[in-house]
Chain A
C-alpha cells in the first residue's frame, strides 16, 4: 500500500487551483521509520507528504483544532478515519463543503511490532465511506468479528476482571492524551475537566481515573470507530480498546447490528430519537 505519488499530485493540484488552505497528511519523522501527521499550508511543501502502511494516525482529529478552523481543508482518510469524519459531519462539527477528502481503500496499517494492527485484522470497513477522490481498489464491507481480547476477558471471573481493570486505572496518569487524540472528543469544555465535578476532581487518583475513563468510554459508546488513536497515544500503554470494544459489542448485538459512522447522517445508537421507536422508554 503506497499512495505517496497520488497524494502529492492531488495536494499539489488542490493548492495550485487554490481550492484548499491547508492539507493534512503524513510525513516521515526524519529519525525512524514511523510517520507523523503534518499540516501543509503551501504548494512547495507537498513533497513532504507520503502514505504507506505506517500512516497510522487518524487525521480527522485535526479538524477540531485552530489550524483548520474556518479554512478549506484537504485530508487523507482510511476506512476507520472516514467513519469518524462521517460522525463529525453528522454531528455538525465540520462542513462538508469545506473539505476535500482523499479516501483510501486501506489494506491495513502496522503496529509497533511491524505486524498488521489488531484493529485492521478485525476491520469491518477498510474503504473510506466518505470521499471526493478514492485511491486503491475498494474491497467492500466485511463481517463483524468479536474482539479476541474481549473474548479472553469474558473467560475471566468477575473478581479477576476487577483486579485487572484496577491495575489499568492505577497506571493511568491522567494526561488526557487519549481524549485529545480522539477525533470524536471535540468538546471545547470537557466534563472531566471541571474542577467542581467532584467525581473527577482533578487529582490523579485511581478512582478519578476510573470515573474519567468510564465516562469517556460511555460518551463514545455507539460512536467509537475503532481507529485506536487513543491507545497508540497512551504513554502508559493501557489497553483502552477494551473499554470501547465491549461497548461496541453490546451495541452491535442489541441495536440492530449498529456500527458507528458507516452511513452519513446516522446519529448512532444512543443519540437517535424517533416517534416510531418500538420501545416505550428513551435511552
Chain B
C-alpha cells in the first residue's frame, strides 16, 4: 500500500473543504449554545473545522446516536407484528471533517466491541460508509493526555486522511488508509504531491505538539497496578464529590453502554436504543431490588477499572483515549487522569 502526502496552503485547504462539502454529504463541528456538535453542513462558513477539543462533543453520535429506533411492534389478534423502522439516517455515504485524532481513535477502540460476539450491522455500515478527515492538534488542552496512552498518535491510522498544519505555514494532507488514498486521488484538485521535506515538517509539528502536554503518565504501569486495586480505599476518596450524573459517560467517545426502552401507546410502539451509564444508580438495579453498586465509589470503580483493566484484558486496548472531555464536562471536574493515577499509586 503506497500512501501519498499532498501539500497546500491554508487557503488551499479551505478550497479543498469547500469542494468536499459541495460534492459529498458532509458533517463538521457546528456551534450550538457555545459548544460544537457534529452536524450536517452545507457550507464551510457555518462550521468550524478547528473547534477546540474541550468545547466539542465527540463524533460518537454519528455512529452510535444518543437514541436510535431499533424496531416497531404491534400486537394483533394473530400475534405480535415486528417491523423494521424507516431507513437509518446515518447509513449513507458521508465525509466527516474536523475530527480530532483522539476522537477517531475512539472508533477504532469501539470496533473491537461492536464486532465481538454480536456484530452490530448498523454500526458497521455507518463506519464503512464514512470517510474521516482528521486534523492534528497544534497544542494540547488542559486535560489532554493522548500521547500517554497505548496508541501512536503520530502515525495513527484510525482515520482516512490526516490534516497537519505545518510550522512552515503549509498544510499537509496525508492518506492513512487505502480508502483515504482513493478519496484524496479523486478530490485532490488544487493539491500538489508533497516534496521530500514534508515528512520532516510533519515530524517537527508533532514534536512541538507532543511537548505541549501538561499531563503525562506511563500507561503500562497504570494497567499493571490497577489490576490489584479492586479494593483500593482511594476509590471512595476520589468519588466523594461525584454527583452521580451520567455526563462523563455520555460525552465520552468510547463509552458504549446502552439501554432499551419503549415508546408505546396501547398495543403498538417503537423500541429505542439509547445511551446508558455505569454512573447511574439504576444501571445495575436488578429485578427484585438488589443493587450490587448502590454507592458512588463502586460505580466509579467500575468506570475506572473498565477503562484501564477489563477492556484491556478482553480486547488488548485501553478504553480511554485521553481526550479529557469527561473532565471538562463534569459538573465538578473529576479528572479520570487523576483518579487512575491516585488509585494506581
Query: A interface vs B, CB < 8 Å?
Result: 29-32, 34, 36-39, 57, 61-62, 65-67, 167-168, 171, 173-177, 179-181, 193, 195, 198, 201-205, 208, 229, 232-233, 235-239
Measured in the bound complex, the distance between the Cα atoms of B262 and A202 in whole Å is 8
List 17 additional contacts besides A202-B272, A203-B261; criterion CB under 8 Å: A30-B338, A36-B334, A66-B296, A173-B250, A174-B66, A174-B250, A175-B245, A175-B250, A175-B277, A176-B246, A177-B245, A177-B331, A180-B244, A203-B67, A235-B35, A235-B57, A237-B34
23 interchain pairs, CB-CB under 8 A: A34-B333, A36-B333, A37-B332, A39-B240, A39-B241, A65-B243, A65-B296, A168-B33, A171-B33, A173-B275, A175-B249, A176-B245, A177-B245, A177-B331, A180-B244, A180-B245, A181-B243, A201-B262, A203-B274, A205-B263, A205-B272, A232-B331, A235-B329
Is B208 at the interface (CB under 8 A from chain A)?
no
Decide if the interface of chain A is mainly helix, strand, loop or mixed.
loop
A206 to B, closest residue via Cβ: B67
Please tell me if the beta carbons of A31 and B214 are within 8 angstroms of each other in the complex.
Answer: yes
CA A202 to CA B244, docked complex, whole Å: 17
A208 neighbours in B (Cβ, 8 Å): 263
Report B-chain residues with C-beta under 8 Å of the C-beta of A236: 32-33, 35, 57
- Which residues of chain B have C-beta atoms less than 8 A from A36's C-beta? 241, 332-334
Report chain A residues within 8 Å CB of B214: 31
Residues from chain A with a CB closer than 8 A to the CB of B247 are: 175, 177, 233, 235
A195 to B265, CA, bound (A): 14
Question: Which residues of the other chain, A, contact B332 by a CB distance below 8 angstroms?
Answer: 36-37, 57
Q: 1/0 contact trace for B324-341 toward A, CB 8 Å? A: 000001011111001000
Residue of A nearest to B328 (CB): A235
**Could you tell me the distance between the alpha carbons of A233 and B250 in the complex, rounded to whole angstroms?**
13
Contact A233 B243 (CB under 8 A): yes
* Chain B neighbourhood of A168, CB < 8 A: 33
Residues of A within 8 A of B274 (CB): 174, 202-204
Interface centre among B142, B247, B295, B331 (most CB of A within 10 A): B331
